[in-house]
Structure 1
């Protein structure tokens, strides 16, 4: 699909660790914002047989950069942003099931309608992924950067409550202790530079937030979906 030349592409990163809420919020935004596009980094995984093996555990490591076809992913983003071409992607992600009340949905639709002039000459392309902030070549492509995160206990509980993940070839189910042995260390390695004292249990560094214009969205247990979408949508409306 070709994006009209008179449309400005706004590329939005919906990034953060596994189970931080980024996919749920990005799907909601896709539903709410007219003519918007949503791309999932998970659709760029290699085939199951190509996923790297972790040397310490002997398990497949689905949470490292080498598990993903970043050459194809970066080309996709470049084509969208600079060539106005939307590649066809057969997504493994299920369609959105909007978890909002009718009243909440009307509130967001009103916010968007009141800012309809901001969207008139733009196409909003959201990118959902757990590995969007580790590489400057990728990071700098985004016009708006939403970073979702939560504490260790929250992420662990959410991840371990999931039944599995659809891959290109099968369904992946986390083995016991996978979060502690693979997921959390990989998140720490790729994102610690964002946090005070390089500790992902700490708040984000204020100078990093300001330097890269990152929107800090904390999604610990108890945070309402309405609040997360409101934070994300307000950030988009302020920056387009």
Structure 2
């Protein structure tokens, strides 16, 4: 470098150092000799300060410093925008992994014929799975006497085994609300929702919510022997099972058999073995120890 150019470089460096010092003085409020109007330190000031420091380092200390490192230091600074930090804590999506200490959401469908063992299986899973809750399709039946129910004249009875007897839209909304609510846990984990019911997989808006679906099958004799031991409100009338319940189940089963992502299970198998099979499967999906 020519001798006549060195004073210009030294003068430029001196000006940069003064600018850097002025930013530090304004930030720390240590200059008591001059009375200047108070000005809020902005993100631009912080950025300028870091860029000036990097520039001086490049000239006087580390000539190999790359430009990319200057901006990496800026991005990693503790002076980053708080709103950007908050955004990092938001969930990636409704059903995926949550960042921070939020829960990953899984929605599991447990369907099958009436009296196929759905409720028993759900109760066992609730007692075994951490951070697990349940929604029951039976809680969304219309009230008896509702005009939306189909009346069966020959049985003098309402039809409770078709989809129009259930408030499906409300069921879907409640599941979506559960999924969208943020769940804060003491450590990163998985939150599981079990949804049980006899008509879950014939309703497209509901099908789109499940991460995993199970269906318990039973034969007619087992289904009838179990059903006649239970009490319903309103009670079954003679002929209701043969005319409504079983034909509706067969139609439902025929329709969903075309859906290849449903795991069909034998509802007549040992309850404990059935429970252990589904439990291990869910634990594997949720990446939980088992």
TM-score (norm 2): 0.58
- List gaps (5 residues or longer) in structure 2: 1-93
| CA–CA distance in structure 1, aligned partners of residues 194 and 254 of structure 2 | 24
Whose radius of gyration is greater, 1 or 2? 2
Contact 1:25 1:225 in 2 (8 A): yes
Instruction: Give the equivalent residue in structure 2 for 1:13.
Output: 109
Q: List 4+ stretches of structure 1 deviating above 4 A.
A: none
CA 1:32–1:120: 2 relative to 1, 3 Å: farther
- Residue of structure 2 aligned with 1:131, choices 196, 199, 209: 199
Matches within 5 A, 1:1-240: 6-50=102-146, 51-54=149-152, 57-81=155-179, 83-84=180-181, 120-162=188-230, 164-165=231-232, 171-195=233-257, 208-209=259-260, 212=261, 214-220=262-268, 223-240=269-286
Contact 1:150/1:219 (<8 A) preserved? yes
Report SS of the residue matched to 2:170: helix
Q: For structure 1, list consecutive stretches of 5 or more residues without a partner in the other structure.
A: 87-118, 166-170, 196-204
Question: C-alpha distance in 2, partners of 1:175/1:120?
Answer: 51
Deviation for aligned residue 1:56: 5.4
How many pairs align? 183
Whether the aligned pair in 1 keeps the contact of 2:202 and 2:255 (CA below 8 Å) is no
Between 1 and 2, higher relative CO (CA 8 Å, sep ≥ 6) is seen in 1
TM-score w.r.t. structure 1 length?
Answer: 0.70
Kindly indicate whether the alpha-carbon contact (under 8 Å) linking 2:201 and 2:207 is maintained by their aligned counterparts in 1: yes
Root-mean-square deviation (Å)? 2.3
